[in-house]
Structure 1
Amino acid sequence: MPRLMLERGLLLALLATLRPAAIVGQEPGQAGPARIAVESAPRPAAAALRTDDPPTVDGHLDEPVWQQAVPLTGFVQSRPDTGAPATEETVVRFVYDDRALYIGAICYDSEPDRLFVSSLKQDFNSGSSDVFGVTLDTYLDRRNGFMFLVNPEGALKDVQIFDDSRSENQAWEGPIRVETTRNDEGWTVEIEIPFSTLRFNPSGEDQTWGLQILRRIRRKAEDTFWAPLDRRDQIHKMSKAGTLTGFSGVTPGLNLRVKPYALAQDQTGTLVEEGRGGTQGDVGFDIKFGVTPGLTLDLTYNTDFAQVEVDQEQVNLTRFPLFFPEKRDFFVENSGTFSFGDQSERSYRTGVSLRDFTLFHSRRIGLTGGGEPIPILGGARLTGRTGGFEVGLLNLQMHSSPGLPAENFSVLRARRSLFGTSDIGAIFVNRQATGADIEGYPDFNRSFGFDANLRPLPSLLLAPFVAWTRSPNTDGDSFAGRMWVGWRDELWDVSALWRHVGDNFNPTVGFVRRRDIRQSYATVGLHPRPPLPGVQEVNPYLEIDYVQDLESVLVTRTRTAGFGVSFLNGSGLTLNYTDRFELLREPFRVTTDATIPIGRYDFGGGSAQYRSAPGRALSGFVRVERGGFFAGTRTSLSAGLMWRPNYHLSVDLSANHNNISLPDGDFTADVFGGRIDYGFSTKVFASAFVQYNAAQDQFVTNVRFNYLYSPLSDIFLVYTERRDLAAGMTVERVLAAKVSKSIGF
């Protein structure tokens, strides 16, 4: 009955929102700003100016060369008033010499004292700050690119973009110079991007690149673009970008960069392996070399990740394994090249993600199941484009570790673009023991698969894949496959999925949340833009998910009705109700004191979440869930509070509280966390991150200091401690100092 009433309410709300929308803030009959149809608007073109007298990168656009360059203006809103002119003017110019591309922008602002900057740190949260951004598609393949986002205080976020906005690599970094200044008319930004930082084909005398430019005004929740975009698209939607011409006689140069490091650390605690404790030192290096204009070779020796932040604690109330994301720089860089599996699609509701199925998950390399490091001897990675293919080759050799032999990991990935925005691809993953045999440990594990991303119509996307695994002495179904089809336009969001995962499908260098299943999923939703005060968009939706075993017996079913509201100020509200069925053939332990017995379970519950506007000194979110939990009930409260009194300091607090009532008793599962970031400048940062996992009664502390003393060169001081409060002992304590130096040739 509650679900039926909710569905009726959603239908009535939907009918109310489908009437024609007036201009927000406009009285009936009043003329509003001229709008354009962003989806059919022509893509703009611009030309860069060649110069023998490059500008000084100081944030002041006072050199004559800037006045000689053609100005780019006429930005168009994607949010909040799609298709309307920007409320504040932006003027951008491009010039270049033999060595670098220079970008100068004047971001006029009628209230410059209200510019909002959330942080000074590199790769800052661009969604909660005023931003100027540029994305360059250097191969003009309408799929991949380099993105550079800058806030008014000069912090830089540089990112690699893959597959026309499907995935991004935030670990990518280049020796980019950025300077900004503020004045009474707004702010200016000046960017220098060496051609050696980018990948492009210099064989042609004249270069044409894809280009998109963003201006974000946080207090107005306004995003404007040079090449007009709908609100569901982002700056890295390269298939809808404009073009930048005028380049002649430019080359990426030798494109060789060597980065040695030195490390000193002291480790103690019960989790530290024998022989790795105490005070130790080490050295290693990374090399990056542009083998061809399209291919980059990365070499690493004695690889170390002492500077990487610790994993965030998670509450697991399911019978399936948890997915932890990759954070190590070497693996995150170019990671989009190797993606294969349940990749989610931006702006589509897919029902799955790489947290459900991925054939290659780099955390299987160099880390144990508990997240402890395994020494990496060295390896190589070759990525890029050649002969119409996007390719990736990865090979890493591991040292032996207690209970594990020395192993070699290899991945080969290739994709071929079709018809501009479609592609087909293949992947091969091999894990091979290279050391002494260990009883019960397989000599090898191999995975291979084929996938495609097909876009026969602008709003229609099909994404099938098939995959197999092989290991010694294994029988049974080792096949996996899926077909996903989705339609997303300005109003409709519709998709369906069918997926099969065999009971013996076991990619030991991947991640599979569930095996022995056949899954069917479908969803339908709408995104009308009603003429309601303060409302940008509403999103009623229905989705259903059926999971059967390979004998066609229903084991899981979820039916969800939801309703979301996006407000003009950037905040959002989401409500949903889910009806669930679960068949348990084996009991599973939720905690050490609670076990769910074998049986059939029907239960349901609802949730509500509100997220406040991000462009404020104090923001946050709260989520409340209440309903059944197998044979009992569950009440959950998740909340986060972000306080940013200025762009130097930010404080983030989070809490996840779960109260479970079962026939054999009640229990709680809680995780609490806190983080403080302080940016002394855009080069010097400090952070402290603490977590408490009540279920394990563990307290984790991670304190980091980072000095970026020259481009791509760092000094890190890191302290990590993990305490078992119940046992009253320190299970891990690490103090590390690491220095790296990037040398370009």
Structure 2
Amino acid sequence: MTRFVHYGSAVAISVCAGGLCAQPAENSIGEVRRTDSPPTIDGKLDDGVWNDASVLTDFVQVNPDEGQPATERTEIRVLFDDDNLYLGIRCYDSTPDQIVATEMRRDGPRSVDDHLIIVIDPFGSQRDGYLFSVGPAGLKMDALIEGGNWREAWDGIWYSDVSIDEQGWVAEIAIPYKSLSFDPKRPEWSLNVQRMLRRLNETSRWSGARREIGIADLGGAGVIEGFEGNINQGHGLTFKPFGVLTSEIDDGLPEFDAGFDLFYKITPEITAALTVNTDFAEAEVDQRRVNLSRFPLFFEEKRDFFLEEAGVFEFGNVRQSPRPYFSRRIGLVNGEEQPILAGARITGRSGNVRFGILDVQMDDDDELGNKNLAVGRAIVNVLDESTVGVIATNGNPSARGENSLVGADFSYINTSFMDDANLRAGGWVQATRDDPSGGEETYGYAAGGRAQLQTDDWNIFSFVAQVDDRYKPGLGFVSRPGEREHILNVTRTFRPETDLVRTIDVNTGGDFYTNLGWTVNTLEMSIVGVTIETDDRDFIAADFQIERDKIRDPFEISDGVVIPVDTYHWLFGEIEAGTDPSQPVALDAGVRVGEFYDGTRYDYSGEVTFTPNSRFRGSAEYIFQDINLPGGDFDVEILRTRGTVQFSPELTLDTIVQWDSVTDRAGLNSRLRWEPRPGQEIFLVYNESYDADDDFTSLEREAILKVGATIRF
């Protein structure tokens, strides 16, 4: 496997060395000026104070014509005072009637509309920062940037307004310093702005306009200079109380509960957080999935308290398994919610060291007892963009006894590798101690690494991990202990000189698992895959794959259908096609046909999305799987519909209805969110489940009202 990784990297490097990669764009430099009078944030840009700001222009295309001037002019103006950073951005458009403006939800999808993305790195670390996005219909999104990735769960307090006029559209933004961590003595911050011109599907940037790096790769950001004088964060204290009224409609009177989150900036760079009687009533429900494998599914975290500052606890760029810390293990045991009494967290930085400490006290449980769960993480900046770190966890939320883990990782990042390539690589090691109540104490380990090389035309990714069968991360996630995992994927992108096709991606690769004696257990390999995307973002993709699975114990894949012990090989093909998601009606459909173990499997999926205007978005999705095996035949069906009513950027109603044939139950989740002003939120949530086998008889109904406020000192 190592030979393949080295060979793939050598191919990509030789391509760059041969002069086929675009030359890197130099990072831009601009000026930020102090204002004595704050601008009015009304989306008009007609306040006289903007005339005192320097104008940052010269946007360059990332796609479709990398390195060429942007088709439409974009102007950035940046001001600051004692309390806020201000941005005024004018997006000129020669055909303003074709501006795509349909999304106004907080944290709504950006892929369908014109939009701006602003990234800020107050420390100039090139590793972590803040991301803000706005769209011409009122879309507002924010995120924390960690190592080139962004996490949208962070909801900072900031202000924005937009407008569309005969010249294009305008965005005005005010970001309070109370919402940021920074060094008040630093005279310069890193900044970048990216614009999406949706009618042309054109992406342009103020700085770092290279395809191989994303807007969250802060090594490509420019610099704004001129911060000086007083920058005020107040007393650094934020109090967020909430009250929750829950009614089990068929079971008695409503119940009231309350709690709070408290945040205190010990310094401008270090924040302490305390949560008491934590509640997650407003968290979005998981999408239903049916597991056709022998291994556990991985579901993403969706609870705000654990998503805030989550990036500092990420380890080794491990995406799923083996993760030393997975916050979804806290407060959820076997899919059931367990009450959290309180939690405390300290995150921040001191010099070149970032750190995070989290401690959670669970409510007493008759079966699990008293549980205190903790994780600590420290990351040291080394070289220009790289890090080395350690992690430790203590506690097991789902079993009695003791459990602990320690680990160390190194992450190498070079966004200017060989001038115009983006290289990410690293390695990690973990060790666990598990001492269950009434059981035997065991020690286990896991070790691995990854590497990814991106150029204008190539993307090569590799990952390897070895997980001991005694590796038991009490606060982590592991899907296949006692195995080695190997991944290699190679993608070559072609850009034909035609107005019809924008890109053709050809890829090959896959992953395979062996036991610790190097016997192959599972192979999942794409022999060849091709994806064609047009200038209008319509696409078609086809893939031909081979799989191998060695079953050592009989595996019940469905009720009464058992796959016996044997080694299985099978081939199958997939094809998927979709239309431009920014259109009023968008379609996506896919088919999988071929073998499956010692039988056959046919998958069909389809989704239609309706966006008639900026007030409503709806979708319907259907998945059908027809599995035929010697041990029996069975079907799997999933139906999912979703509708969003956008009354305004501050008031939205989101409803999802799901059904699957395995449980034969349907579920309804409807959530009304009103944000009268940033930091003040009201949620009205209604949940109901139905027995589809009994004429959709209602099984459980629940209504929740949650009111939260933010008070800053």
Band the TM-score falls in, shorter-chain normalisation = over 0.9
Q: Distance in 1 between matches of 2:401 and 2:109?
A: 44
* 1:444 to 2:444 alignment: no
Report the Cα offset of residue 323 of structure 1.
Answer: 1.1
- CA deviation profile, 1:603-625 (whole Å, cap 9, x unmatched): 11111122322221111322211
1:337–1:390: 8 Å Cα contact kept in structure 2? yes
Q: Which residue of 2 aligns with 1:296?
A: 271
Report the Cα offset of residue 400 of structure 1.
Answer: 2.2
2:332–2:338: 8 Å Cα contact kept in structure 1? yes
Q: Which residue of 2 aligns with 1:193?
A: 175
Report the Cα offset of residue 332 of structure 1.
Answer: 0.9
Report the Cα offset of residue 490 of structure 1.
Answer: 1.6
Q: Which residue of 1 aligns with 2:378?
A: 414
Q: Which residue of 2 aligns with 1:258?
A: 239
- Per the alignment, in what secondary structure is the counterpart of residue 98 of structure 1? coil
Equivalent of 1:285, from 241, 248, 260? 260
* 1:389 to 2:364 alignment: no
Equivalent of 1:85, from 69, 76, 84? 69
2:668–2:688: 8 Å Cα contact kept in structure 1? yes
Q: Which amino acid aligns with 1:469?
A: T
* 1:485 to 2:451 alignment: yes
Report the Cα offset of residue 536 of structure 1.
Answer: 2.1
Report the Cα offset of residue 228 of structure 1.
Answer: 3.5
- Per the alignment, in what secondary structure is the counterpart of residue 239 of structure 1? helix
* 1:373 to 2:337 alignment: yes
- Per the alignment, in what secondary structure is the counterpart of residue 718 of structure 1? strand
Q: Distance in 2 between matches of 1:248 and 1:310?
A: 46
Q: Distance in 2 between matches of 1:139 and 1:375?
A: 38
Equivalent of 1:430, from 383, 391, 394? 394
Q: Distance in 2 between matches of 1:430 and 1:581?
A: 37
Report the Cα offset of residue 573 of structure 1.
Answer: 2.5
Report the Cα offset of residue 570 of structure 1.
Answer: 2.5
* 1:218 to 2:229 alignment: no
Q: Pairwise mapping of residues 4-403 of structure 1 onto structure 2 (< 5 A)?
A: 39-163=23-147, 165=148, 167-202=149-184, 204=185, 206-249=186-229, 250-267=231-248, 279-341=254-316, 343=318, 353-354=319-320, 356-370=321-335, 372-403=336-367
- Per the alignment, in what secondary structure is the counterpart of residue 522 of structure 2? strand
Going from structure 1 to structure 2, the CA distance change for 1:624 and 1:616 (only over 3 Å counts) comes to same
Q: Distance in 2 between matches of 1:431 and 1:620?
A: 46
Going from structure 1 to structure 2, the CA distance change for 1:528 and 1:636 (only over 3 Å counts) comes to same
Q: Distance in 1 between matches of 2:366 and 2:292?
A: 30
Q: Distance in 2 between matches of 1:235 and 1:495?
A: 20
Report the Cα offset of residue 551 of structure 1.
Answer: 2.6
Q: Distance in 1 between matches of 2:486 and 2:153?
A: 35
Report the Cα offset of residue 730 of structure 1.
Answer: 4.4
Report the Cα offset of residue 469 of structure 1.
Answer: 1.3
Report the Cα offset of residue 181 of structure 1.
Answer: 1.5
Report the Cα offset of residue 552 of structure 1.
Answer: 2.4
Equivalent of 2:603, from 636, 650, 673? 636
Q: Distance in 1 between matches of 2:393 and 2:525?
A: 36
Report the Cα offset of residue 39 of structure 1.
Answer: 4.5
Report the Cα offset of residue 493 of structure 1.
Answer: 2.2
Report the Cα offset of residue 313 of structure 1.
Answer: 0.6
Q: Pairwise mapping of residues 555-566 of structure 1 onto structure 2 (< 5 A)?
A: 555-560=521-526, 561-566=528-533
Q: Distance in 1 between matches of 2:334 and 2:46?
A: 56
Report the Cα offset of residue 133 of structure 1.
Answer: 2.3
- Per the alignment, in what secondary structure is the counterpart of residue 280 of structure 2? coil
* 1:470 to 2:461 alignment: no
- Per the alignment, in what secondary structure is the counterpart of residue 219 of structure 2? helix
Q: Distance in 2 between matches of 1:626 and 1:315?
A: 18
Q: Which amino acid aligns with 2:183?
A: N
Report the Cα offset of residue 96 of structure 1.
Answer: 1.3
Q: Distance in 2 between matches of 1:566 and 1:337?
A: 36
Q: Distance in 1 between matches of 2:73 and 2:134?
A: 17
- Per the alignment, in what secondary structure is the counterpart of residue 111 of structure 2? helix
* 1:494 to 2:474 alignment: no
Q: Distance in 1 between matches of 2:41 and 2:454?
A: 42
Q: Distance in 1 between matches of 2:552 and 2:391?
A: 34
Q: Which amino acid aligns with 1:395?
A: D
Report the Cα offset of residue 517 of structure 1.
Answer: 0.5
Going from structure 1 to structure 2, the CA distance change for 1:172 and 1:497 (only over 3 Å counts) comes to closer
Q: Distance in 1 between matches of 2:111 and 2:331?
A: 33
Deviates more, 1:211-220 or 1:565-574: 565-574
Q: Distance in 1 between matches of 2:432 and 2:194?
A: 44
Structure 2: 5+ residue runs without aligned partners? 1-10
Q: Pairwise mapping of residues 639-678 of structure 1 onto structure 2 (< 5 A)?
A: 639-678=606-645
Alignment coverage as a number of residue pairs: 685
Going from structure 1 to structure 2, the CA distance change for 1:738 and 1:455 (only over 3 Å counts) comes to closer
1:39–1:229: 8 Å Cα contact kept in structure 2? no
1:475–1:504: 8 Å Cα contact kept in structure 2? no
- CA deviation profile, 1:533-580 (whole Å, cap 9, x unmatched): 322222212214331112322211233121222322223322111111
Going from structure 1 to structure 2, the CA distance change for 1:455 and 1:52 (only over 3 Å counts) comes to closer
Report the Cα offset of residue 441 of structure 1.
Answer: 4.0
Q: Distance in 1 between matches of 2:22 and 2:673?
A: 43
Alignment identity in percent? 32
Q: Which residue of 1 aligns with 2:586?
A: 619
- CA deviation profile, 1:265-306 (whole Å, cap 9, x unmatched): 11268xx9xxxx752111100111111111111110001011
Q: Which amino acid aligns with 2:243?
A: A
1:199–1:252: 8 Å Cα contact kept in structure 2? no
Deviates more, 1:579-588 or 1:591-600: 591-600
Going from structure 1 to structure 2, the CA distance change for 1:364 and 1:673 (only over 3 Å counts) comes to same
Deviates more, 1:530-539 or 1:659-668: 530-539
1:102–1:190: 8 Å Cα contact kept in structure 2? yes
Q: Distance in 2 between matches of 1:508 and 1:592?
A: 30
Report the Cα offset of residue 664 of structure 1.
Answer: 2.7
Q: Distance in 2 between matches of 1:573 and 1:417?
A: 42
2:61–2:204: 8 Å Cα contact kept in structure 1? yes
Q: Distance in 2 between matches of 1:298 and 1:603?
A: 52
Q: Distance in 1 between matches of 2:162 and 2:557?
A: 52
- Per the alignment, in what secondary structure is the counterpart of residue 680 of structure 1? strand
Q: Distance in 1 between matches of 2:365 and 2:698?
A: 22
Q: Distance in 2 between matches of 1:74 and 1:68?
A: 19
Greater share of strand: 2
Report the Cα offset of residue 638 of structure 1.
Answer: 2.1
Report the Cα offset of residue 476 of structure 1.
Answer: 6.2
Q: Which amino acid aligns with 1:482?
A: G
